[in-house]
Structure 1
Amino acid sequence: MPHINRTMTAREWAMLLALSVLWGGSFFFAGVALKELPPFTVVALRVGIAAVVLNIVVRACGLEVPRSRAVWAAFFGMGLLNNAIPFSLIAWGQTHIASGLAAILNATTPLSTVVVAHFLTRDEKMTANRAAGVLIGLAGVVLMIGPEALKGIGTNVLAQLAVLLASIVYAFAGVYGRRFKGMAVAPMVTAMGQVTASSVMLVPVALLVDRPWTLPTPSLTASGAILCFAVLSTALAYVIYFRLLASAGATNLLLVTFLNPVGAILLGSFVLGERLDANHFLGMALIGAGLAAIDGRLLKRIMQSGGAARR
């Protein structure tokens, strides 16, 4: 088995940053859509539109769609763990708690992933620098989002627990999804299969629970948010996700949840003209320090230079 418990390449870090921007915007898009539509409908539209887009792209690229029952069973397992359960929990949670608090709770995913991967894999074991980096990065997320987001802690406990549970499920999904590399399924095909399976599971639930045909027609703003949610934060994001999962491993990949708030805040600054405060920069610095600790290369160089100086 290849050794995945390693530092990431510059290309993988660039992909991780791109994924953070795509997923950082998802909290914004969800917040806009949830003002007019119920959670299951938003989630079903997200995966349904993404499935249509990716099916078209896969066929346009001439990629082969698997027919194996084992592969499709894996698609449904991944769709359940990586989309159906966490998307629904987070969407419902965001109807009761602030997006900032949801982002902080979601940023606990690497903590869960370090533990889950340690026990369920042979090549992604916990190390001291990873554990320290995760804690530093989580502190940076809390600082960057701001103390005002923590005011909701203690209220709407079920909504908070729902987002925390989603983070734990994401950790299991990251480990579960490693199997697609062994199945020799292309990342774009894996992304297509996952969201297709998710649509099969979620669309009937939305029809049964929300009865969307009885809802008012969403505004252009909400419709645009859903389209961006589906195409950018889901279809494109999952192509990058599965490429990273195959090469960098689950623990490295799910560091993206630390960067998601960074992406969201930077998007707000550049797109909406929102002001960046000192806590944003300090939080980003802590996140950078946490990622550097997990990556390990900088620490190794410091130790090597220190050893050379002593000699």
Structure 2
Amino acid sequence: MTGADWSLLVLLAALWGGSFFFIAIAGRELPPFTIVSLRVGIAALILVALLRLSGRPLPAGWRVWRVLFGMGLINNVIPFSLIVWGQTQIPSGLAAVLNATTPFWTALIVNFLTVDEKLTATKVTGIAIGVLGVAVLIGPSVFLNLGGDGLGALAILAATLAYGFSGALGRQLPRLGVAPMTAATGQMIAATTMMIPLAVLFDHPWQLPAPSWQVWAAILGLAAFSTALGYILFFRLLARTGATNTSLVTLLVPVSAILLGTLVLGEHLEPKHFAGMALIALGLVAIDGRVWRWVRGRGAAEAE
């Protein structure tokens, strides 16, 4: 991964870290399927407008749309719904810790489904260190409700498993010649097509009270920043760095959430936050591999 790739990864982590905050606000007044439908529907409208303004056509061909509907299902419909529901059962901090297991599932899945992203000792070690860092950063208190709210925890874990499969499936889009913005637009259209019937069937949104302006602001932030812009960056990273490296964003999401809380809400960082972020940085360095290769190179040169 280049410096530009890491910059995109950090930006994506900031956008997706904000999604936990937006979901927490929207979940006070709206049910899960309605939140997800609004999230992907508004994001689809934004992306279609951007695609038209840039003069690019919508995705074409049944092979492309087959992948896009698959991505919409396992990268949006299933995980978004599970995460929104899971956050009604467990603390958002615990949800972030569980969400940070995504690189494990992604690395394991792409190891079996691809030929060019095989597991290595440094990748496994780096991911383990990173997840430990997330747990330290959030703190042990978030695990107190794990026993009583096991279904919520299982929902978040199931969402991370779906993300792992989506990373492997999404690699097909660059090979089919689909640009990142086009891929993000098509995926949001597919997800919206699948989500609206679920919201109508289970949530009966026409019977819900009108949401407050705070909820609408959270929904717009969730759709425009965490989803529309976020998935443009996601597909760009997926094409440039592969599924395993892209999934590392979930290790940085809790960091961005705490930093946003400090800057926006006036919260204070504790020693555990610095310790957790240091472990996460160490894990990312291990997965990147360049420092380890440099150390081995220096050792070999000195041995000669």
TM-score by length of 1: 0.96
Structure 2, unaligned runs of 5 or more? none
Alignment of 1:146-295 (within 5 A): 146-295=139-288
For residues 252 and 185 of structure 1, the distance between their equivalents in structure 2, rounded to whole angstroms, comes to 20
Is 1:36 aligned with 2:37?
A: no
Is 1:302 aligned with 2:295?
A: yes
For residues 80 and 45 of structure 2, the distance between their equivalents in structure 1, rounded to whole angstroms, comes to 18
For residues 239 and 60 of structure 1, the distance between their equivalents in structure 2, rounded to whole angstroms, comes to 15
How far 1:154 sits from its partner (Å)?
1.2
What is the CA deviation profile of residues 137-196 of structure 1, one whole-angstrom value per residue up to 9, with x for unaligned ones? 000000001111111121211111110010011000000000001110111010000011
| Structure 1 range deviating more: 194-203 or 145-154 | 145-154
How far 1:272 sits from its partner (Å)?
1.0
Aligned position for 1:50: 43
How far 1:252 sits from its partner (Å)?
0.3
For residues 32 and 146 of structure 1, the distance between their equivalents in structure 2, rounded to whole angstroms, comes to 23
Which of the numbers 63, 80, 90 marks the counterpart of 2:83? 90
Structure 1, unaligned runs of 5 or more? 1-7
What is the CA deviation profile of residues 19-48 of structure 1, one whole-angstrom value per residue up to 9, with x for unaligned ones? 000001101110110011111110110000
CA contact (8 A) 2:133 2:280 kept: yes
Alignment of 1:49-128 (within 5 A): 49-128=42-121
How far 1:309 sits from its partner (Å)?
3.2
Q: Secondary structure at the match of 2:29?
A: coil
How far 1:244 sits from its partner (Å)?
0.5
| Structure 1 range deviating more: 202-211 or 63-72 | 63-72
What is the CA deviation profile of residues 222-249 of structure 1, one whole-angstrom value per residue up to 9, with x for unaligned ones? 1101100000000000000000001100
What is the CA deviation profile of residues 120-149 of structure 1, one whole-angstrom value per residue up to 9, with x for unaligned ones? 100000000000000000000000011111
How far 1:306 sits from its partner (Å)?
2.7
What letter is aligned with 2:301? A
CA contact (8 A) 2:59 2:183 kept: no
How far 1:72 sits from its partner (Å)?
1.2
What letter is aligned with 2:55? G
Q: Secondary structure at the match of 2:250?
A: helix
What is the CA deviation profile of residues 69-99 of structure 1, one whole-angstrom value per residue up to 9, with x for unaligned ones? 2211111111001000000111110111000
| Structure 1 range deviating more: 205-214 or 169-178 | 205-214
For residues 66 and 231 of structure 1, the distance between their equivalents in structure 2, rounded to whole angstroms, comes to 20
CA RMSD of aligned residues (A): 0.8
What letter is aligned with 1:53? I
Which of the numbers 11, 26, 31 marks the counterpart of 1:18? 11
What is the CA deviation profile of residues 240-288 of structure 1, one whole-angstrom value per residue up to 9, with x for unaligned ones? 0000001100000000000000111111111111111111110000000
Aligned residues: 304
Q: Secondary structure at the match of 1:185?
A: coil
What letter is aligned with 1:103? A
Q: Secondary structure at the match of 1:63?
A: coil
Q: Secondary structure at the match of 1:83?
A: helix
For residues 172 and 297 of structure 2, the distance between their equivalents in structure 1, rounded to whole angstroms, comes to 37
How far 1:66 sits from its partner (Å)?
2.4
TM-score by length of 2: 0.98
